[in-house]
Amino acid sequence: MLRRTHLISGLLCFCLPAFTLLAAPVAVTNIQGYGFDHERQLQRFTVLVFDDESGKVLARGDKALLANYGSARLINAQGKTLLPGLIDGHGHVLGLGQNLSQAELRGSSSEQDAVARVAAFAKINPDAPWIIGRGWNQVLWPDKQFPTTTLLDEAVKHKPVYLKRIDAHAGWANSTALALAGITKDSIDPPGGQILRDSQGNPTGVLIDNAMTLVEQHIPPQDAAANLRALQAAFAHLLALGITSVHDAGVDTDTIQLYQQLAADKKLPLRLYPMLSARDPQLPEWLKNGIVDDPTDFLDIRSVKIYGDGALGSRGAALIAPYSDKPKQSGLLVTPPDQLTEIMQLTINAGFQTNVHAIGDLANRLVLDRFEQLVPEKQRLAARHRIEHAQIVAPNDIPRFASLHVIPSMQAVHATSDKNMAGDRLGVARLRGAYAWRSFIDQGSIIVGGSDFPVELANVFHGIHASVTRQDHNNEPAGGWLPEQRLTLTEALRSFTVDAAYGAFQEQMLGTLAPGSWADFILVDRDIFAIAPSALWQTEVQQTWVNGKQVYPQ
């Protein structure tokens, strides 16, 4: 039996509207409505009725419903399309908020372009003790080579600079930052990390995975007030994109305590499913206290995020065979196998959902092996353990997800972002098990859809578009990349609604708009089922509602 504890004072009533005895049902009429039933089948409707007091859906159907709700307050949506509130099954909320106030390197066309952006940011932030940024991706640069300290040192001479790669699995530092960290020619690579070096053995400025902490531990930490501002910025950004719930992947105690305070103050504007970070020193205490089961589903705490390997772009993803474009490298296990077993056993024994980051085929195999060894067969289906990313899987390991009832939590936009690089890294043969959404769906696996923001943009319609077309926004490549792995539009929408909710034990209340579920929905500017698939990514959210209350625009 799962233990339950309520750590948030007053959570039972938080985020419900302040209502009066005059509260009445609300009927949204004249809509092109889409939702799902409890068998996950697509349902269409033109009227949605919800209770203004409880925030729950009462009914959906056609205008004949209105005869049953004569006192309902009517909202004429003027033919707009209504969808369930979108759920991002893998994002990083604090990282998104912080990213909104850092040097933005996403889309930089070269190392020179990235450095120019850093120099411009430093100029308008003269009081910043460090220059922090994120988003560079050397794969998109003409020479596809990792950057070095040289240009950074010329641009910012007297203060440290530290720039995370777009996937946050590599960091790029200037010489001042390296000196503060004590990184020299004689420094030793930490376990699960790598200090890139030139032909003379000198550090180049790029640090891979666990080596990043050598610099990061010297960056002045943000205080609670700064983190709160970042969270609030992220919330506003997400709600404007129609995202009403986020699975926050890898959260420390300080951030969860901010969430709890926001909840207690009735200021949490969207639903959060935080995964406790396995790196948090207080993890054993959380596990001992047991699951936090919020009956309003705004802050359920019952999962742990464990880190298996690195990322493909930085060649940190752990592969069974070496990289095709670097035959002497096979990636990094950022958590040693014995420690991975220990942490997984700890979380499984505590009754928490265990969600393990695994991108490379070796990392996926190691995690699957441990789920098979550590989870009793009779407990597998109910436990809903997950592999986060499941990006490159040996084809003969894909069926093990189904047989072990392990949920693949996948990010469709990674395929269209990585398509120009993945073949070089993996070779043709290994692509058969890469970004293999169709293979998972056809065997009965439920995919939890996500974006991995701020690695990718926090726009679910980009993920839906990538799922359906396997193309970028320029309709490339023609016919789609590995098109046999495409999803239907219904399957793609489901991955960001009811199927994502399933990955958080919330499918009865979220992602369907079925009667009895929470009235979380969005109005968008086009009927996504009536447009060309190539235009899906251009869909814009016009209104976002959570618990029957409009939260965007306000």
> In 110-198, which ranges are continuous DSSP H helix?
111-124, 149-155, 175-181
Could you tell me what percentage of the chain is helix, strand and coil, using 3-state DSSP and rounding each to the nearest 5?
Answer: 35, 25, 40
pLDDT digits (tens, 9 = 90+) for 25-41: 999 999 999 999 999 99
* Contact yes or no for 243/87 (Cβ under 8 A): yes
Residue 72: DSSP 8-state: P
**CA 394 → CA 11, 368, 434, 490, 538, distances in Å?**
44, 11, 8, 27, 34
* CA–CA gap between residue 498 and residue 518 (Å, rounded): 12
> What is the identity of the amino acid at 521?
F
pLDDT at 13 over 70: no
Q: How many helices (H) does the chain have, and how many strands (E)?
A: 17, 24
Q: What pLDDT is attached to residue 24?
A: 81
Q: In what order do the strands lie in the sheet with 203-209?
A: 103-104, 131-136, 161-165, 170-173, 203-209, 193-197
Provide the β-strand partners of residue 61: 47
* Residue 303: pLDDT over 80: yes
Q: In which band, very low, low, confident or very high, does the pLDDT at 3 lie, cut at 50, 70 and 90?
A: very low
Burial 479-515 (b: 16+ CB within 10 A, else e): ebbbeebbbebebbbbbbbbbbbbbbbbbebbbbbbe
pTM of the model: 0.88
Average pLDDT over residues 362-368: 98
pLDDT digits (tens, 9 = 90+) for 123-159: 998 988 999 999 999 999 999 999 999 999 999 988 9
3-state secondary structure (DSSP) of residue 161: strand
With cut-offs at 50, 70 and 90, classify the pLDDT of residue 23: low
